[in-house]
């Protein structure tokens, strides 16, 4: 293998270089296969027949293609209600969380803020030590948030790790000279954040949006604790209930019906995984570029 240069000169690679590239490509191919195979297997299992799934006939491609799992899922009204609730929780929760995170992280990144190291230490302390489940529940109950949508939006609105990432970005990417220049021109702090900081912070905002959105979409434990009304349940809690219902067997069920129910329960698991992860897989490619830029925040300075 040779590398062509602009001056029509070629650099011939040594055997060691070719061997190294071969090893690198082999490892990358194995990693890609290890990542793609579970996705293909789950998708194939979700559209295969229940008998083929439980008998282990599916290993890569669908066997006896059937959409029975998706038909059973979407025939239930609570699935659509859960989808709508999860979209509401994800959209509203992400907006609230990103807004609050930026409002906390940007002031902490400014050297002019008195006591910013103390505030940062207190915020970091909450990441290591928390009040616990029972005190948190009592606080939510005293705020009259039980069995309301706010119980899933307010208590975990801010994640400390995201505050640290955003603060590092603002420190390394928003120079203090910009703030000084804006103050000379009579620009207020709010206008500076809106006109200067936010346009320059698209990478970190994309990272925050993706992290908060994925976390909010996959969350079900808070809903399990704080919600009582079925019409408020998010998708993840609805799917959990469906799996539990299909795994439980009735006492008067004959052997054939029990086998069919177990096969359907196994098929539903794969269909539920596809239904729950599809929105994230669809959204991620559109924010991947910003996500990679934001994750490299502070890694290179010069």
Average pLDDT over residues 262-278: 77
Name the superfamily (CATH) of residues 69-295: MetI-like (1.10.3720.10)
- Tens of pLDDT, residue by residue over 154-187, are 988 888 888 988 888 888 888 878 878 887 878 7
Alpha carbon distance 97, 102 (integer Å): 9
DSSP per position, 80-96? HHHHHHHHHHHHHHHHH
Positive or negative torsion for Cα 53, 55, 60, 64:
negative
Q: How confident is the model at residue 302 (pLDDT cuts 50, 70, 90)?
A: very low
Average pLDDT score over the chain: 80
For the chain, the domains span 2-46, 69-295
d(CA 100, CA 158): 7
pLDDT, average across residues 94-121: 88
How large a percentage of the chain has pLDDT more than 90?
10
Q: Between 248 and 117, where is the model more confident?
A: 117
More confident position, 282 or 12 = 282
Most confident of the following: 9-18, 28-37, 40-49, 289-298: 28-37
* pLDDT tens-digit readout, 211-255: 898 888 888 888 889 988 888 888 888 877 777 766 655 555 556
Closest CA to 93 of 277, 271, 219, 216: 216
């Amino acid at each position: 293998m040779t590398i062509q240069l602009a001056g029509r000169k070629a650099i011939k690679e040594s055997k060691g270089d070719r061997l190294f590239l071969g090893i690198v490509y082999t490892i990358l191919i194995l990693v890609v296969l290890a990542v793609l195979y579970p996705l293909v297997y789950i998708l194939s299992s979700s559209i295969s027949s229940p008998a083929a799934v439980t008998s282990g006939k599916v290993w890569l491609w669908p066997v006896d293609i059937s959409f029975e799992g998706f038909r059973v899922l979407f025939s239930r009204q609570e699935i659509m209600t859960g989808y709508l609730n999860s979209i509401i929780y994800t959209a509203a929760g992400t907006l609230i969380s990103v807004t609050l995170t930026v409002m906390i992280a940007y002031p902490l990144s400014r050297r002019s803020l008195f006591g910013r190291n103390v505030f940062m230490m207190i915020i970091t302390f909450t990441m290591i030590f928390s009040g616990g489940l029972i005190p948190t529940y009592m606080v939510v109950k005293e705020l009259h948030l039980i069995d309301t949508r706010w119980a899933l939006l307010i208590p975990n609105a801010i994640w400390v790790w995201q505050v640290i990432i955003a603060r590092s970005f603002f420190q390394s990417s928003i120079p203090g000279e910009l703030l000084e220049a804006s103050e000379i021109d009579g620009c207020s702090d709010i206008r500076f954040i809106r006109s200067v900081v936010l346009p320059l912070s698209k990478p970190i905002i994309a990272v925050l949006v993706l992290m908060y959105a994925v976390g909010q979409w996959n969350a079900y434990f808070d809903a399990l604790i704080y919600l009582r009304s079925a019409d408020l349940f998010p998708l993840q809690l609805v799917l959990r209930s469906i799996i539990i219902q299909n795994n439980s067997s009735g006492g008067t069920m004959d052997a054939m019906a029990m086998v069919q129910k177990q096969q359907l329960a196994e098929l539903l698991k794969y269909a539920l995984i596809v239904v729950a992860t599809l929105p994230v897989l669809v959204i991620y490619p559109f924010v991947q570029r910003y996500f990679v830029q934001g994750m490299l925040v502070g890694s290179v300075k010069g």
